[in-house]
Amino acid sequence: MHPVPRVSPEHLAARRLQIVDAARRCFLREGFHRTTMQDVIAEAGLSVGAVYRYFPSKADLISAIAEEAVGGAEVVLDELLHREPPLPLVEVLDRALAYVETQTGDDGALRIAVQVWGEAQRDPVLAELVAAKYDSFRRHFEALVRRAQGIGEVPADADPEAVAAALFGLVPGWFLQRLLTGRPDRATYLAGVRTLLAR
The pLDDT tens digits for 112-161 are: 888 888 888 888 888 888 898 889 999 999 999 999 999 899 999 999 99
User: Model confidence over 47-58: pLDDT tens digits?
Assistant: 999 999 999 988
Would you state the pLDDT for residue 10?
Answer: 84
If one looks up domain 62-198 in CATH, what number appears? 1.10.357.10
Q: What average pLDDT does range 7-28 have in this prediction?
A: 88
- Report CA-CA distances (Å) from 154 to 16, 18, 32, 159, 170: 44, 45, 42, 10, 17
Ranges of CATH 1.10.357.10 domains, the chain: 62-198
Would you state the pLDDT for residue 173?
Answer: 93
- Choose between 117 and 191: higher pLDDT: 191
Ranges of CATH 1.10.10.60 domains, the chain: 1-56
Q: What average pLDDT does range 58-71 have in this prediction?
A: 79
Q: State the distance between the two ends of the chain, measured CA to CA, in whole angstroms.
A: 78
- Report CA-CA distances (Å) from 113 to 134, 163, 176: 12, 24, 11
CATH H-level superfamily of 1-56: Homeodomain-like (1.10.10.60)
Please determine, for residue 86, whether its predicted confidence score (pLDDT) is greater than 90: no
